[in-house]
Structure 1
Amino acid sequence: MKIPAHFQNTLFYLQLLAVLLLAAWLSSRFELQWDWTRNGSNTLSKTSIETLAQAEGPITITVYAAKQTALREKVESFIERYHRFKPDLTLKFIDPIQHPGAARRQGITLSGELLIDYRGRQERLQQLDEITLTNAIHRLLRTETHWLVGLEGHGERSLLGEANHDLGLFGSALQQKGIKTIGLNLVETPDIPDNTSLLVVASPQKALLPAELSRLQLYLEQGGNLLLLLDPGQDTALRPLLTSLSLETLPGTLVDANVRELGIEDPSIALVSQYPLHSVSRNFNLITLYPQALALQSSDSSPWHVVPLLQTLQNSWNETGALQGEIQRDPDAGEAPGPLTIGYAMSREKNGGTQRVIVVGDGDFLSNAYLSNAGNQDLGITLINWLTTEENLNIQSHQATDKTLLLSPLAQGIIGLGFLILLPLLLLATGGLIHWGRKRA
């Protein structure tokens, strides 16, 4: 028995409607997404996911925004990315018009301002993007406020400075992570503050006064943590301090032929690509670069537990001659073959706790001019976390590389021509062929 054509058409449309209704019902109960961008630009980065994994306990985000606004929908959609990886993250809305007292008590001054609460600690945000929110959560993870004190008065690299040789960008990155930075001149303030979590001595260009060196020695003897950055030709200013740490420097400047593989022609930029099994470098696997670095050497009789943290590869050495033209290692001039040590991590038990010191034979790698090279910033933050006993917060940053689409003039012309002329002509030709076919039938 042949089924009439109109009945077949009706049955087809009923089945199609049933499939669409089923798909709508399933989409309202289940959610499945794909992000096809190269680095997952529309989902949380690995950094944010790792930060959420560090948060033990609920996080509450309160948004002060009026009802019936598109802002609420945007915030809900954005926070949902975080909620997928942390189910106990709660989002709440408070209308500042209906509840002005609540907004006033929290110091809310802008519609859409966010208040993040974690274990009684709070952060306020006036803009919402992944970097800002993840950094805020990262700051809340810190169990205490850490003060980094940078020595000043001898031409040191400043944690607040904007010059190329300064460390201002690094200081800003640390502040985003919840670490406070301040400068200290030992002539103006003879005593290092008791609440100093870490003293940073970054490449002094002039020798310290005997009284200043005595204060640094006393700080070490009392168990203070120290980050010491040196540069070729400037290590003599801190020779007594290095001696107390059982360290000495090799003459000359490190050169590294391995950097040519990265397209770097300057051999005075040293490369570090492998790190020892140590809590300071746990899970750290980024290449780091060190311009104009100094090789270090530790005494076998050191009272510290010493770990060679940063070491160059083979085909590197400490060049004592001029860095120009073709250079080769000269063993007779005291030029030692790599691997050579650029940085040491040192620790010892002191006053019922663990004292930590890191000495790096380079200050440029954290400077404003070189901080963004390879994994330099990540390593710097990793070092600070270890020195302030917060190594559990070592999370490497990851930036999306496909946020901008760059097209050549030829590609732009082809796309424009295709959409403005070729595509309309194709549609007209298709319509003409269909019309011609129907007339012949």
Structure 2
Amino acid sequence: MKTIKRKKIWQYLFLFGPFLFVVGLTSGLVSGNWGAISLAFLIAGIVISGLWLLWQSQKSNWWKSRSTQAGTNALVAILAVLVILGLINFLGTRYHLRADLTEAQLFTLAPQSQELVRGLQQPVKIWIFDVNRNSQDQELLENYQRQSSNFRFEYVDPQARPGLAEKFGVKDYGEVYLESGDKRQLVQTVNENERLSEVRLTNRLQQITTSTTAKVYFLQGHGEHPISTGEGGISQATQGLSDKNYTTSPLNLTENPKVPEDAAVVVVAGPKRELFDAEVKALQNYLDGGGNVLLMIDPNTDPKLNNLLQEWGVRLDNRLAVDVSGAGVGLGPAAPIITDYGQHPITKDFGQGISFYRLARPLEITPVAGIEATPLLRTKPYPNSWAESDLQSEKLEFNSDQDLKGPLTLGVALDKKLSAKAQSIPTLTTSPSPSPTSEGQASPTPTTSPLPSPTPEAQTSPTPPTEEKSEQPATEARLVVLGNSDFATNGLFQQQLNGDVFLNSVTWLSQQNQQLLSIRPKEPNNRRINLTNVQASFLTLSSLLFLPLIGLVTAAVIWWRRR
């Protein structure tokens, strides 16, 4: 009897093996720290379980018994299920399979945002100083986080962590900050009426991850659109450039007929009067040295740029672009609606999006050796569009003798490879030092315009981003010509794709590889049906009277036939 009891006690003692193993495994997983205590429990459990198996193996009939085989099969099945579940969870954590079934892809980041986040070289973090977690904002941030492990975000209660709030200078709930290294930047303030914007977040992320800024000059003095607020100004366009880490300044070539060295792009926005020959020559020299120019020329104007454009194979047509397809949306025939875009980095993501241009002139493109020309904006074919020559007539009608049938080209992007002798114009600089000249070319000299300073909200760290001088000479010159400038003015800039055409043109011209093209905020398509009173009454009667009556009559007929 004593021998039997001792054997039973030893059998019960062996149960401590699995128990100690589970204790060690649980303590390590919960605490996240596999210290000496967790490892001691694990090793003790494994040793006791191993001794028990060794003791049982000495019994000749233990491995052959039916109960042992059944228990072994059950244990193997349980372990297999656990391994399969573990693999599924591992694959589900590492690889995400998501399908956005919305028509406008509301829950998918724009390709520009994905490219920027995937290319992050250092960790960045979003701090949301708010006590409420909005599901829409959190979903957007999670979409960013899925693209790269270097992107993180955290919600913070300013009252619970006042030191951190003071570090960022938080003044109110809902402020969203971006941090990368010692740089900190305010993204926006979110509230019930304004949610976190992908456009702003991507632009701020681009600004904080780059150490250089490009300068865009706007030519002034010939009736161009002013860089100011109000009707006819282009302050919204300049603000859009600032959001993309550009600095903007006016340029007057009559004071010094040479383009500044730090000019990444020169914009000529709707001149109404002709330029002096010295100014045109300055633009030509700038382009010959690897510069980049955006020309937006309206109808009924002659800025005397024909010699410059002729070198690039572009001729301004004096006729007016007419498009009668815009009458259904309230636009007159003199405001062409564009949905046909060229295959070019400026317009490659536009698809069938809409942009419109009030009072635009067509462009004629002639092939020139060494210059690659890509039409950007094309009107609809005739009879929807044509080039009207009689601008005095109140009724626009096509005249086969004088007018030109559509489709018409309203915008073109041109790229010219520079020869080895061409003098490059640095796009970024830190000092106004002149560069040596090449044969037959004027040397660019600096202007007295001040260096750009970061915006108040753009940088709170003690080391703001500085401009760096480009060490690589320019290998190509770029020119974009548009037959309208009105689309970039205040009020029209933010409508449809108008602003994207301008911002993408400047971005491509600046030749800044790290700069992203413009992205549009995504909005759900309006699928509401507008019914008249008659239609609403008919719908009410059909749903409450006609359809139930048809059902009752059908049921009565079936009942009568069966009876």
TM-score, structure 2 as length reference? 0.57
- In the alignment, the residues of structure 2 paired with residue 267 and residue 211 of structure 1 have an alpha-carbon distance, to the nearest angstrom, of 38
Match of 2:415, SS state, is: strand
Match of 2:305 among 234, 238, 252: 238
Match of 1:317, SS state, is: strand
Structure 1 range deviating more: 290-299 or 164-173: 164-173
| 1:204-234 deviation per Cα after TM superposition (whole angstroms, max 9, x unaligned) | 1111222222222221121111100001111
The match for 1:263 is 329
Gaps of 5+ in 2: 1-92, 419-423, 425-473, 534-563
The match for 1:383 is 505
- CA-based RMSD: 3.9
Contact 2:112 2:516 in 1 (8 A): no
- In the alignment, the residues of structure 1 paired with residue 170 and residue 496 of structure 2 have an alpha-carbon distance, to the nearest angstrom, of 39
For residue 203 of structure 1, what is the amino acid of its counterpart? G
* Cα pair distance change 1:139/1:265, threshold 3 Å: closer
* Cα pair distance change 1:402/1:265, threshold 3 Å: closer
- In the alignment, the residues of structure 2 paired with residue 344 and residue 130 of structure 1 have an alpha-carbon distance, to the nearest angstrom, of 37
Contact 1:52 1:86 in 2 (8 A): no
Contact 1:37 1:402 in 2 (8 A): no
- In the alignment, the residues of structure 1 paired with residue 374 and residue 253 of structure 2 have an alpha-carbon distance, to the nearest angstrom, of 30
For residue 393 of structure 1, what is the amino acid of its counterpart? L
The match for 1:61 is 125
- In the alignment, the residues of structure 2 paired with residue 309 and residue 349 of structure 1 have an alpha-carbon distance, to the nearest angstrom, of 20
Contact 1:122 1:140 in 2 (8 A): no
Match of 1:326, SS state, is: coil
* Cα pair distance change 1:210/1:287, threshold 3 Å: same
The match for 2:203 is 138
- In the alignment, the residues of structure 2 paired with residue 115 and residue 373 of structure 1 have an alpha-carbon distance, to the nearest angstrom, of 28
Number of residue equivalences: 371
| 1:94-139 deviation per Cα after TM superposition (whole angstroms, max 9, x unaligned) | 7878987766665555566443134775422451354556414323
Q: Does residue 124 of structure 1 match 2:186?
A: yes
TM-score, structure 1 as length reference? 0.71
- In the alignment, the residues of structure 2 paired with residue 307 and residue 386 of structure 1 have an alpha-carbon distance, to the nearest angstrom, of 13
Match of 2:281, SS state, is: helix
Contact 2:199 2:520 in 1 (8 A): no
- In the alignment, the residues of structure 1 paired with residue 415 and residue 171 of structure 2 have an alpha-carbon distance, to the nearest angstrom, of 47
Alignment map for 1:332-371 (pairs within 5 Å): 332-333=401-402, 335-350=403-418, 351=424, 352-371=474-493
Q: Does residue 326 of structure 1 match 2:395?
A: yes
The match for 2:153 is 91
Q: Does residue 227 of structure 1 match 2:294?
A: yes
Match of 1:301, SS state, is: coil
Gaps of 5+ in 1: 1-29, 66-70, 411-441
Contact 2:287 2:478 in 1 (8 A): no
Contact 1:169 1:368 in 2 (8 A): yes
* Cα pair distance change 1:155/1:302, threshold 3 Å: farther
Cα offset, 1:376, TM superposition: 1.3
Cα offset, 1:90, TM superposition: 1.8
Contact 1:296 1:340 in 2 (8 A): yes
- In the alignment, the residues of structure 2 paired with residue 281 and residue 50 of structure 1 have an alpha-carbon distance, to the nearest angstrom, of 13
The match for 1:280 is 346
- In the alignment, the residues of structure 2 paired with residue 226 and residue 360 of structure 1 have an alpha-carbon distance, to the nearest angstrom, of 11
The match for 2:363 is 296
- In the alignment, the residues of structure 2 paired with residue 274 and residue 323 of structure 1 have an alpha-carbon distance, to the nearest angstrom, of 29
Contact 1:255 1:318 in 2 (8 A): yes
- In the alignment, the residues of structure 2 paired with residue 106 and residue 372 of structure 1 have an alpha-carbon distance, to the nearest angstrom, of 31
- In the alignment, the residues of structure 2 paired with residue 273 and residue 118 of structure 1 have an alpha-carbon distance, to the nearest angstrom, of 39
- In the alignment, the residues of structure 2 paired with residue 345 and residue 202 of structure 1 have an alpha-carbon distance, to the nearest angstrom, of 16
Whichever structure has more strand as a proportion of its residues is 1
The match for 1:396 is 519
Cα offset, 1:344, TM superposition: 1.0
- Sequence identity of aligned pairs in percent? 24
